[in-house]
Amino acid sequence: MSWWTSPATETQISHGDRFWLYVVAAIIMLLLIIPTLIVIPMSFSDSQYLEFPPEQWSLRWYGEYFDSTKWMRATVTSLQVGFLTLLVATPLGTMAAYALFVSGHRFAKTIFMLLITPMIVPVILIAIGVFYAFGRMGLNNSITGLVLAHTAMATPLVMIVITAALRSYDLNQERVARSLGATRIKAFFTVTLPQIKFSVVTAGLLSFLTSFDEVIIAIFVSGGNNATLTKHMFAALRDYIDPTIAAISTIMVGVSTVLLLATQFIDRRKK
């Protein structure tokens, strides 16, 4: 029996009978992937104009990018803010997720809902609110302000990843450790944390990416010497199109791919 006539599902429909599904799925997946990856060949074009496929290849736009103080400074800011957000949001979100998961307090659910509000409130509203409030506090255009805002955006994601990990972990192990004399803190660090460490790493990568890719808050709150890569990119896309963006986009796709493959790898290790 060939693959074509062999049953594909429990309802005994054959692969041949539902070949159309494979074709449809393949087309849609190509539509998802191509626009994501097309910036890569585009970035090696020699032309001023956006053309695809490029007629001549060159590294010209990478040269422009690496030679520009504006882009370099923005890249450093974005990396710095992303890294600081990772360092702040990961412990903050992990602590909160653990606390709310373990504590049976009647407020726990309410606090959880409060802490995931950044995912519910439209980002544009947060952005102008933060712009207004930070203006009063003198935090606009500062790294501190941006890290604070991005931490608020990343914390709910960290909490969701960690809560999911705690749900599939048997908390009795921690109780055993404590009944054998370990303090709660020691029990957490020696028994619980090692078992959810992969999720903590995933949560950290997610917080970095949340900050690194964030556009709207950055447009309002960052500026001057501390403008982020995304803020400059957005301005460039809206007002004039500079092919340097193709080079920067390629680098950003590279960063996302590496982080994504890292989480996939971690996922495999977990199992």
Partner 1 sequence: MPISPDIETPMLHGQELQSQKKREEWVLLGLSLPAIFVIALVVILPVGWLFYLSFVDGHGNFSLEHYQKMVEYKSYARVFITTFKVSALTTLICIVLGYPIAYFLAALPSRWSGIFMLAVLLPFWTSLLVRTYAWLVLLQSKGLLNDLAIQIGLWDSPVKLVHNMTGTLIGMAHIMLPFLVLPLYGAMKKIEPDMMQAASNLGASPVRAFFSIYLPLSVSGLVAGALIVFVLCLGFYVTPAVLGGGRVVMVATQITAILEHQFDWGAASALGVVLLLATVLVLYLAGRFFKFDTALFGKR
Asked if 125 interacts with partner 1 (CB under 8 A), we say yes
Asked if 128 interacts with partner 1 (CB under 8 A), we say yes
User: Six-digit token pair at 135?
Assistant: 């203006």
Radius of gyration of the chain (CA): 24
Quick note: the x/- pattern for partner 1 over 245-264, rule CB under 8 A, is xx--x--xx--xx-xx---x
**Which of the ranges 18-26, 56-64, 171-179, 196-204 carries the binding residues for partner 1, by CB under 8 A?**
18-26
Residues whose CB falls within 8 Å of the CB of residue 62, separated by 6 or more in sequence, listed in order = 43, 247
Asked if 79 interacts with partner 1 (CB under 8 A), we say no
CB of 61 to partner 1, least distance (A): 13
CB of 69 to partner 1, least distance (A): 21
C-alpha angle 167-84-269 in degrees, rounded to nearest 5: 40
CB of 118 to partner 1, least distance (A): 5
Calpha distance 178→187 (Å, rounded)? 6
Residue from 177, 191, 233, 247 in contact with partner 1 (CB under 8 A)? 233
Residue from 93, 192, 211, 247 in contact with partner 1 (CB under 8 A)? 93
Asked if 81 interacts with partner 1 (CB under 8 A), we say no
Asked if 28 interacts with partner 1 (CB under 8 A), we say yes
Q: How many chain residues touch partner 1 (CB under 8 A)?
A: 89
Asked if 54 interacts with partner 1 (CB under 8 A), we say no
Residue from 6, 19, 21, 76 in contact with partner 1 (CB under 8 A)? 21
Asked if 98 interacts with partner 1 (CB under 8 A), we say yes
Calpha distance 271→268 (Å, rounded)? 5
Residues whose CB falls within 8 Å of the CB of residue 225, separated by 6 or more in sequence, listed in order = 73, 77
Asked if 52 interacts with partner 1 (CB under 8 A), we say yes
Asked if 123 interacts with partner 1 (CB under 8 A), we say yes
Nearest to 145 by CA among 201, 204, 227, 64: 227
User: Six-digit token pair at 69?
Assistant: 């103080």
| Dihedral class, residue 141 (left if φ above 0, else alpha if ψ from -120 to 50, else beta) | left
Asked if 185 interacts with partner 1 (CB under 8 A), we say no
Asked if 141 interacts with partner 1 (CB under 8 A), we say no
> For the chain, what's the residue count?
271
CB of 90 to partner 1, least distance (A): 11
Asked if 201 interacts with partner 1 (CB under 8 A), we say no
**Which of the ranges 6-14, 63-71, 169-177, 195-203 carries the binding residues for partner 1, by CB under 8 A?**
6-14
Asked if 76 interacts with partner 1 (CB under 8 A), we say no
Residue from 108, 143, 182, 266 in contact with partner 1 (CB under 8 A)? 108
User: Six-digit token pair at 267?
Assistant: 């996922």
